Structure 1
Amino acid sequence: MASITIRNVPEEVHRALRVRATQHGRSTEAEIRAILEQATKPAGRLQLGSLLASIAREAGGLTETEADAFDRLRDTSPAEPLRFE
């Protein structure tokens, strides 16, 4: 797993992060990870598979039962980033 170092964080920001982490019952490091994950994977984002399934439903190409079957089979794990090493 990758590591990130963030320099020159203002003291008031660091203090606010510590308070927020305490409110959520986790370490400051875990809180920062949660913030980064939430910022990069927004819950309301449009997913291509969902969009294509909704287009097919509207066009009459899929029944609700077929669409539900596709939804159950869909892989929801995040894709691995490309490596250029």
Structure 2
Amino acid sequence: MPVATLTVRNLDEATKAQLRLQAARHGRSMEEEVRTILREALFRGPSKPSGPSRLGLGQRIHAHFAALGGVELELPERSSQPQPADLGA
């Protein structure tokens, strides 16, 4: 398998520092940490976002307003039966 070299330019110092700390926590060099991050990101399949963005729209709306409490609405009685759509056949 051919080996490639990748250079990342314009990496801000905060990101580099976090990468260095994470690599140290995992007992790896920064280069090995980057290789591991890339492998995991690319080969684990579609990732699911974490945090609020992983929720669907309805769940995010509910979570946003949940602290305000709920309101119970009275549903009106159905006055007619639903009719199938007329597709003009």
TM-score, normalised by the number of residues in structure 1 = 0.50
Larger Rg: 2
TM-score, normalised by the number of residues in structure 2 = 0.47
